[in-house]
Structure 1
Amino acid sequence: MLKFWKNYRMTILLFCGLIIGGIAGLFWGSKVNVIKPFGDLFLNLMYMILIPLVFFSISSAIASMSEMKRLGKILVWTLLVFLGTAFIAAILGYLTVLIFQPINNVDMASVRSLMGHVKGATNHVSGLEQLVNTFTVDDFDKILSKNNMLALIVVAIFTGIATATSGAAARPFARVLAAGNVVTMKIVKYIMYYAPIGLGCFFATVIGSLGSQMVTTYLRTWLVYLGFTIFYFFVVMSGYAIVAGGRNGFKIFWQNVGVPAITAIATSSSAASIPANLEYAQKMGVTKDIAKTVIPLGANTHKDGSVVGGILKTTFLFVLFGRNIATPSNAFLIICVGFLVGVVMSAIPGGGFVAETVIITIFGFPMSALPLILIISEIIDIPATLLNSVSNTTAGMLVTRFVEGRNWLKSYLA
């Protein structure tokens, strides 16, 4: 019981805060706005730490790569499997949202009145100009604004690369970046102690202003994601196992997937699931050297559940602010951004929060909408972790298939 409380303490407290806030909003309606400053306090604290969090987390992660010799030895096919399965997850996630449409019956005028308008919705600029304006700014001080997050990320990436390639002279600066990351993550941890109260007050304000329609929207969103998780876990992962090893691959996968799946659900952590995944991936026939490469790397960079979560959050905001998710251009952008936030951002410490900010920045949504998708992150956390973690075992099977040849499993079972 103590271990369960340790693993899920923050999630339970956040849920309690959201439930209490939702009930307060339903009962007292607009009168609940009296507690809005407590919600604003949480948002402002997060905004204040956002810039150093993004800069230090990204730059320190890249700067440390000079010490990670194994990254240079990672085979191309491992990355191709990760990218390929994540892209499939993104497409399936988008189609799921398009078909089941979890977000509907929301008063969009009220949402825009409460949250603000989408930036640039009425201004027409060329695609190339929009790309330049998204990733760069014309003055240094502008990268210190949360509204120019991608420009800050570009600077952080260049800082990390320059530090990693500057040799011994830059090692003191690399330690500064690493220390800065540790400190900012600790500050975020302190701020998150207030999250159950802050998010609860914010949610109460939202429900008080928009009514029960938002509660229904979150419930439908969770149910759609849960349904997708069941489909992906039982159908898509079975398909990967069959591609990797045929009928025997299917059989050996389901004989051994139980412990990794239960571990992922119990710990709600891909990192904590690495030991179980390593052990049972080898029982699935994955060679030891491949398992030791794919599983640890996959825990950081191969997160199919996070990819679909990114799709869900993006479409959630699209529909909430009255934008069409079905046009070819928007479909392409949604899939690409979901892929970006699920694969690239998940490799960064604290990347979940950064990813949500990137979604808002890319599409010009008001930053006040950030808590709306932070709530989604909480309600899908457990099923997302299940997909993130267990998909690494099927990735290991696929990688073994491509490296060892089609008879790899027969050799293992012989």
Structure 2
Amino acid sequence: MKVSWKNYAFPLILLISIVIGSFIGYMSESVGIALKPIGDLFLNLLFVVVVPLVFFSIASSFANGGGENFGKMIRNMSGVFLFTGIISAVIMLLVMKIYPPAHGVNIPIVKPDATEDLSVAEQIVNTFTVSDFSGLFSRSNMMAIIVFAVLVGLATNKAGEKADIVKKLLSSGNIVIMNMVNYIMYLAPLGLGAYFAYLVPTYGKELVGSYARVFILYYVTAILLYFIVYSIFAYMAGGREGFIIYWKNVIPSTLTSLGTCSSAATIPTNFESAEKMGVSKNVRETVIPLASALHKDGSVMGGVVKVAFAFGVFHMNFSGVNIYLVTIGIALLVGMVMGAIPNGGMIGEMLILSLFGLPVEALPILAAISTIIDPPATMLNATGDLSATMLVERMTNGKKSA
């Protein structure tokens, strides 16, 4: 199978721009500081578009789901997505606790203000809901936006033909917003390069070693998840035969995802592989497209890395059951809201910043992590969709994939 190097062009351009920006900042601090407004312009455009992007992408996915036995299938699919996502998050969380990704980093960025001491019940209410509709227009209430988008999508789907116009509106809105994101991302090389020109002289060179640490930690963990955890999922779906049939047919999707660096580009290959695995037509044609948008084990793992990295950079205490649960929850959301397109991780970084109240200086720092982990993360996202589809087939139709 030929590798499409065109799909690696944008990550390479981002890396080159970051290197050039870092070099400029290293050579001239004054030039680096002068370039900061360009980076601010890029970040502001992203923050403006994040709320409608999250709403339309999630609402349209749920509103336009279909196929026979959709209700049972969507319940099984949701359970499988949640189960595999939690497993991925917990594994990476353990790795981050044993090997902190930002160990030794000392960057004097202002820490976020301490949050008000609230009870667990109050925190849950304030996190998932707002008291007024206007509150949904703020990125500081991201989880409430997501809950609202899911409810709108489910209600629209439930209405059937009566809500066709709403379905079209949500789908069209999603397309329009994604086009806006594409336009904004044209500025990413310039914006990130400019911001790194500002970060290097301002905060030093401590990040370089930590990025190498992130690279090693993520790639090794991704390989282990790919070979061990996905084998277990395949065995759960079909026993020994499921294990064999999975590894007999997963390689094309593996190569396609690595070659294109896009979960969406792997959908046709996943359709073909799922059919050869014995997954029924209604299951594969419903689960695989939704999985491409909502099920991303590799991105979930990346979300945990970014949260742990941000905590290390700001010298915040990354421990305690509450922190672990919030980190897992955020990682699951990061995996859900990221578009099935190359470099969709930028939305995940904005979600992390919004939920933890981190300053905007953290965005380009976390964005570099997305570029570093993009190929293996995409591979896990795409191949994990196949093992998840096998599990949904077993739960929905009560038979092994074979």
TM value normalised by structure 2: 0.86
1:308-354: CA deviation from partner (whole Å, max 9, x where unpaired)? 11111111212222222222221122122212322x42479997544
Match of 1:306 in 2: 299
**Secondary structure at 1:32 match in 2:** helix
Match of 1:43 in 2: 43
1:52 pairs with 2:58: no
Alpha-carbon distance between aligned partners in 2 of 1:284 and 1:75, rounded to the nearest angstrom: 20
Question: Residue 32 of structure 1 contacts residue 208 of structure 1 at CA under 8 Å; is this kept in 2?
Answer: yes
**Secondary structure at 1:46 match in 2:** helix
Q: Which amino acid aligns with 2:172?
A: A
Match of 2:337 in 1: 345
Question: Residue 134 of structure 1 contacts residue 150 of structure 1 at CA under 8 Å; is this kept in 2?
Answer: yes
Match of 1:182 in 2: 175
Give unpaired runs (5+ residues) of structure 1. none
Alpha-carbon distance between aligned partners in 2 of 1:8 and 1:283, rounded to the nearest angstrom: 29
Superposed counterparts of 1:66-105, under 5 Å: 71-72=70-71, 74=73, 76-105=75-104
Match of 1:395 in 2: 388
Residues 75 and 130 (structure 1), Cα distance of their counterparts in 2 relative to 1, 3 Å cut: closer
Give unpaired runs (5+ residues) of structure 2. none
Match of 1:233 in 2: 226
Structure 1 stretch displaced more, 98-107 or 123-132: 123-132
Residues 14 and 373 (structure 1), Cα distance of their counterparts in 2 relative to 1, 3 Å cut: same
Question: Residue 104 of structure 1 contacts residue 217 of structure 1 at CA under 8 Å; is this kept in 2?
Answer: yes
1:39-93: CA deviation from partner (whole Å, max 9, x where unpaired)? 111112222333333343344444445x666633516444433322222111111
Alpha-carbon distance between aligned partners in 1 of 2:234 and 2:153, rounded to the nearest angstrom: 38
Match of 2:109 in 1: 111
Question: Residue 112 of structure 2 contacts residue 357 of structure 2 at CA under 8 Å; is this kept in 1?
Answer: yes
Alpha-carbon distance between aligned partners in 2 of 1:309 and 1:210, rounded to the nearest angstrom: 24
Following superposition, the deviation at residue 192 of structure 1 comes to: 0.9
Question: Residue 128 of structure 2 contacts residue 144 of structure 2 at CA under 8 Å; is this kept in 1?
Answer: yes
Q: Which amino acid aligns with 2:90?
A: I
Alpha-carbon distance between aligned partners in 2 of 1:363 and 1:177, rounded to the nearest angstrom: 29
Residues 232 and 72 (structure 1), Cα distance of their counterparts in 2 relative to 1, 3 Å cut: same
Following superposition, the deviation at residue 378 of structure 1 comes to: 2.1
Question: Residue 207 of structure 1 contacts residue 215 of structure 1 at CA under 8 Å; is this kept in 2?
Answer: no
**Secondary structure at 2:35 match in 1:** helix
Structure 1 stretch displaced more, 270-279 or 93-102: 270-279
Alpha-carbon distance between aligned partners in 1 of 2:317 and 2:277, rounded to the nearest angstrom: 43
User: 1:334 is matched with which residue: 313, 327, 343?
Assistant: 327
Residues 54 and 167 (structure 1), Cα distance of their counterparts in 2 relative to 1, 3 Å cut: same
**Secondary structure at 1:111 match in 2:** coil
Question: Residue 31 of structure 1 contacts residue 208 of structure 1 at CA under 8 Å; is this kept in 2?
Answer: no
1:193-232: CA deviation from partner (whole Å, max 9, x where unpaired)? 1110101111221122222211222221122111111111
Q: Which amino acid aligns with 1:47?
A: F
Q: Which amino acid aligns with 2:292?
A: A
1:376-411: CA deviation from partner (whole Å, max 9, x where unpaired)? 2222111011111112232344445556778x57xx
User: 1:207 is matched with which residue: 195, 200, 205?
Assistant: 200
Following superposition, the deviation at residue 17 of structure 1 comes to: 0.9
Match of 2:114 in 1: 120
Question: Residue 47 of structure 2 contacts residue 350 of structure 2 at CA under 8 Å; is this kept in 1?
Answer: no
1:256 pairs with 2:249: yes
**Secondary structure at 2:265 match in 1:** coil
Q: Which amino acid aligns with 2:26?
A: L
TM value normalised by structure 1: 0.84
Larger radius of gyration: 1
Count of aligned positions: 400
Question: Residue 29 of structure 1 contacts residue 211 of structure 1 at CA under 8 Å; is this kept in 2?
Answer: no
Match of 1:362 in 2: 355
Question: Residue 120 of structure 1 contacts residue 364 of structure 1 at CA under 8 Å; is this kept in 2?
Answer: no
